[in-house]
Structure 1
Amino acid sequence: MSRVAEGVSPLELADYQKAVRLVLRHPLITAAYPDTAALPAVRRWAEQLRTDLMDTLGYRLVTTADTARLQRVQDGLDPTRPAVTRAGRPFDRRRYAFLALAIAALGRHGTQVALGELAEAVAADAARIDGLGLDTARKADRDAFVDAVTWLTERGALGLADGSATAWAGDPERAEALYDIDREILTAIHHPTRVLQHLTSVTALLGTGSALSLSSGRAAQRRDQARRARRLVLENPVAYYHDADPGLVGQLRAPALTEDLERLTGLTVERRAEGVALVDTSGRLSDIRFPGGGTVAQAALLLGARISAAAQRTGRHAPELLSAPTAAERLAERARRIDGALPARGLLSELSAAVSGPQEPPPGYRPPADEDEPQAPGEPGPGPEEARHPFVTDSWLRGRLKEVIAEYGAGFAADLRADPDRLLDQALGLLAAMSLVTRVDGGALALPLLARYRGVTAQVRTRTSAPPPAEPRPAPTNDDTVKDPTP
């Protein structure tokens, strides 16, 4: 029997699970963010949350009088959860840089700061970084800086006392904004789990391989693998067996994983031949809704249905089957791109050479088993065979999207309808974020979960004024209904 929520009565279990979902969806909770009811709900269950999140996932929950901060363990580099601007667009590199510099600059101020003063401090630091810079005479730079400040304001690290950031972005000569600084929230935001000055690669921030030494016992290794397997299911739309480290496959198949995650989150774990998914039909935990509203989500669903149908073809019309990049290969490529921006010499490398910690085991490492010790339940067996997936070309995808626009474009946003290449890129990006396809050179690979949406149809209702979006409706299958697989 699962020991998750051991101290919670059956009558209060739903409230406890709601607090779990809340802190998992919002790793930083303050008196006002994401709403005024969130912090009291988490603080009520703080002790049980700390125990369960650590034991089950390896996450550490830090609570203070005004904040609750969840320190996650990252096992990979996930590009699908960016910070977003006031308009809901992902942060670019410049905005991330301004955000980091603003946090550093605020640490040198007192209890209040003027927006123009903060911009000057960030500009001075940005000028020392090749290729960055912040010129407040440029509207684009001011907008990017205000997006970073607004991100901090939404979380309560800054509180607007007077003026308007939007007015300052429009004309800094005529407008100003004054902010109160909440140092406790600012500290909770900037709470790295590693000493950043000692890092020479972004992979040092990850928990893959854990901090366990090579001499750790088998029980400790199994406990660490069980946590990694639960995180894999929780943090991804689906955990495919073929894509998991060999050391995790046995844990993914273990009944204990289902019992622990369902009792912790209140959601349903769904198992199929290809993998495991934590099903969130109501959006109580999901950061991305799919199927969802909006032109990109609707186009992605309709395009995905066509990809899935093509993947089922047989005979001479059958698509070519190709292997997808493995999780290790994707991690290595993303790390290479990020590490390319790190300084090659200087204080960073000197500190790294001077501070050498214990060697961590490589991903997937398993200590040699004792000859007389039987294999424990959940221990991995032989790794899965290489999986191959149906391949569709970029030209084929453009043709199918053209058909979608022709049939349903009356309900799409005009700017995306007029720019099919941008719509295709965003639709494929969403499908990839949901683990429905993998983008590769020259096209995309259809992953098993995409078959769920093979029977999608849609109907466009037009009005005399602005047309509403198309309403794709997945056709029911024989064994289930279409669900949102996002954790």
Structure 2
Amino acid sequence: MSRVDLAPSISGALEVREAEGRTRVLRALLVRPVLRAQVDGELFRLARRHADTLRGWFDRETGWRLVVESQTVRLLTSYVPQGPTAIAVAERHPARGRRGDPPFTRRRYVLLCLALAVLERSDPQISLGRLAEDVVLAARQPDLNGVVFTLGGREERSDLVAAIRLLLGHGVLVRVAGDEESYVSAGGDALYDVDRRVLATMLSTSHGPGLVGVALGPAPAIDQIEEALHEPPTAYTDEESTRQLRHAVSRRLLCDPVVYYDELPDDQRSYLVGQRVQLTRRLAEATGLVPELRAEGVALVDPDDQLTDVRMPEQGTDGHATLLLAEQLAAAGTTEVATLRQRVKRLAKDHAAFWRKTTQEPGAENAIVADALDRLVGLGLVRVVGDGPDAVVHPLPALRRFDVTAPTITNRRAR
């Protein structure tokens, strides 16, 4: 084969390799919107190489802005969950300081915002102790009467450290010396460098908080503030309206595990119904996700199971119990929590050799059912109405993918 004949195959292989690199970076940014040169080496270099293409794709499909600096790459996402399923999913995916840490509470979110405000006015280096003192002073503002933070106990210090660890993960802070655990024990401290370029991109909104605060007036509800911060600008042409619809629908498809037609506003539903094939094809080609188009809605499924923090199915006792309960709910329909608890008690006996020993203890089924339902709600598969054993679980259409029927065995004909 001549050198000329080899040219097309080499060119095609290079194009495939470049496309795979773009997909890797895009998927990484959807999981974690900050890539750093010192931590994410190869991914960071790929992001810099494909910066123009990725910036154009995010702007065209989602309206999100990609900020590429010499040491960081930051995706400025903007999305407000709408509809009962999307809101329930968002409530079950709180921030965490590190993987496996307890979820953020209201206090931790407030401390995170206070820490960011303090860092805006701090020196290029700051100690954890000094940061904590400034946060205590900031927490005494009249508008924060519901939050008390005095550094008086281990629990309060742990809450602040959780916020610090999240900032470390995003690259706002870089640890120079010390560690957070020694501070929690009230016997040590830590020193950090402040990366102001990353700090400046932490607030990701469509409108400035100052303008929104003036427009909303005194004592607005938190959902009003969130909606106002991310409200798209007024569209004056049909082209702008179509672009905003594309952005809104694409954000839902990328952020939510499943999008149901009956929970979309009328304009978004009409757009998705008319454009679902073309839209999902573009998203799938760029992200490697697999679209599932059903009568009730659309889901983008990750075959590699990387773009989620809740997997279904999952190994272990809780994962197995969740899968078995999903099968029952898909087949039986609406079910009370009390019935599911009785089902888990029987399953614990049937699978005693494989499940952890604590599942045999009295009342263990309550925690297993609660965890399973939390997972299923967090994946947009069920909706729970009520509390306690009298609560009712309503399966949602996407749960039908776990409805397993008994196999049909036919006799093989002799040849």
Match status 1:205 vs 2:222: no
Structure 1 or 2: larger helix share?
2
Match status 1:448 vs 2:393: no
Deviation, structure 1 residue 438: 1.0
Residue aligning to 1:218: 238
Residues in 1 aligned to 2:247 and 2:330: alpha-carbon distance in whole angstroms:
33
Residues in 2 aligned to 1:220 and 1:41: alpha-carbon distance in whole angstroms:
32
Residue aligning to 1:244: 264
Deviation, structure 1 residue 203: 3.8
Residue aligning to 2:37: 31
Question: Is the CA contact 2:207–2:230 (under 8 Å) kept in the aligned structure 1?
Answer: no
Residue aligning to 2:216: none
Q: Secondary structure at the match of 1:398?
A: helix
Match status 1:20 vs 2:26: yes
Which residue, 412, 420, 428 being the options, matches 2:365? 420
Residue aligning to 1:408: 351
What is the one-letter code of the residue matched to 2:155? A
Deviation, structure 1 residue 437: 0.3
Residue aligning to 1:90: 103
Q: Percent identity?
A: 30
Deviation, structure 1 residue 138: 0.6
Residues in 2 aligned to 1:276 and 1:407: alpha-carbon distance in whole angstroms:
36
Residues in 1 aligned to 2:164 and 2:357: alpha-carbon distance in whole angstroms:
31
> 1:75/1:139 Cα in 2 relative to 1: closer, same or farther (>3 Å)?
closer
Match status 1:399 vs 2:342: yes
Match status 1:439 vs 2:384: yes
Residues in 1 aligned to 2:253 and 2:188: alpha-carbon distance in whole angstroms:
48
Question: Is the CA contact 2:172–2:194 (under 8 Å) kept in the aligned structure 1?
Answer: yes
Residues in 2 aligned to 1:435 and 1:427: alpha-carbon distance in whole angstroms:
13
What is the one-letter code of the residue matched to 1:167? S
Q: Secondary structure at the match of 1:68?
A: strand
Question: Is the CA contact 1:267–1:278 (under 8 Å) kept in the aligned structure 2?
Answer: yes
Q: Secondary structure at the match of 2:146?
A: coil
What is the one-letter code of the residue matched to 1:118? L
> 1:166/1:409 Cα in 2 relative to 1: closer, same or farther (>3 Å)?
farther
Which residue, 130, 146, 151 being the options, matches 1:136? 151
Residues in 1 aligned to 2:139 and 2:328: alpha-carbon distance in whole angstroms:
47
Deviation, structure 1 residue 259: 2.1
Deviation, structure 1 residue 219: 3.0
Residues in 1 aligned to 2:360 and 2:204: alpha-carbon distance in whole angstroms:
42
Which residue, 290, 297, 313 being the options, matches 1:291? 313
Residues in 2 aligned to 1:209 and 1:427: alpha-carbon distance in whole angstroms:
34
Residue aligning to 1:353: none
What is the one-letter code of the residue matched to 1:140? E
Q: Secondary structure at the match of 1:291?
A: coil
Question: Is the CA contact 1:103–1:190 (under 8 Å) kept in the aligned structure 2?
Answer: no
Which whole-Å deviations, capped at 9, do the CAs of 1:28-65 have from their partners, x for residues lacking one? 222245x3322212111111111111111111111111
Deviation, structure 1 residue 146: 1.1
Residue aligning to 2:58: 53
Residues in 1 aligned to 2:356 and 2:344: alpha-carbon distance in whole angstroms:
14
Residue aligning to 2:3: none
Question: Is the CA contact 2:115–2:131 (under 8 Å) kept in the aligned structure 1?
Answer: yes
Residue aligning to 1:195: 208
Deviation, structure 1 residue 85: 3.5
Match status 1:163 vs 2:163: no
- TM-score, normalised relative to structure 2: 0.81
Which residue, 79, 93, 105 being the options, matches 2:91? 79
> 1:417/1:136 Cα in 2 relative to 1: closer, same or farther (>3 Å)?
farther
Residue aligning to 1:356: none
Residues in 1 aligned to 2:313 and 2:19: alpha-carbon distance in whole angstroms:
29
Question: Is the CA contact 2:310–2:375 (under 8 Å) kept in the aligned structure 1?
Answer: no
Alignment of 1:326-345 (within 5 A): none
> 1:150/1:307 Cα in 2 relative to 1: closer, same or farther (>3 Å)?
same
Deviation, structure 1 residue 294: 4.4
Residue aligning to 1:124: 137
Question: Is the CA contact 2:95–2:103 (under 8 Å) kept in the aligned structure 1?
Answer: yes
Which residue, 66, 75, 83 being the options, matches 1:70? 75
Which residue, 102, 113, 121 being the options, matches 2:126? 113
Name whichever of 191-200 and 153-162 sits farther off.
191-200
> 1:299/1:124 Cα in 2 relative to 1: closer, same or farther (>3 Å)?
farther
> 1:476/1:290 Cα in 2 relative to 1: closer, same or farther (>3 Å)?
farther
Q: Secondary structure at the match of 1:396?
A: helix
Residue aligning to 1:367: none
Which residue, 180, 199, 204 being the options, matches 1:186? 199
Residue aligning to 1:228: 248
Alignment of 1:468-479 (within 5 A): none
**Over aligned residues, Cα RMSD in angstroms?**
2.7
Which whole-Å deviations, capped at 9, do the CAs of 1:421-446 have from their partners, x for residues lacking one? 33322221110111110111221110
Residue aligning to 1:261: 283
Question: Is the CA contact 2:261–2:296 (under 8 Å) kept in the aligned structure 1?
Answer: yes
Deviation, structure 1 residue 208: 7.7
Residue aligning to 2:411: none
- TM-score, normalised relative to structure 1: 0.69
Deviation, structure 1 residue 273: 2.1
> 1:476/1:224 Cα in 2 relative to 1: closer, same or farther (>3 Å)?
farther
Residues in 2 aligned to 1:452 and 1:156: alpha-carbon distance in whole angstroms:
40
Deviation, structure 1 residue 411: 4.5
Which whole-Å deviations, capped at 9, do the CAs of 1:197-249 have from their partners, x for residues lacking one? 33444345348873224xx3333322322222222222211122222222223
Residues in 1 aligned to 2:268 and 2:195: alpha-carbon distance in whole angstroms:
42
Residues in 2 aligned to 1:11 and 1:161: alpha-carbon distance in whole angstroms:
38
Residue aligning to 1:41: 46
Which whole-Å deviations, capped at 9, do the CAs of 1:72-129 have from their partners, x for residues lacking one? 2314252233211444321111111111111111222112112111111112222442
> 1:177/1:210 Cα in 2 relative to 1: closer, same or farther (>3 Å)?
closer
Residues in 2 aligned to 1:19 and 1:139: alpha-carbon distance in whole angstroms:
39
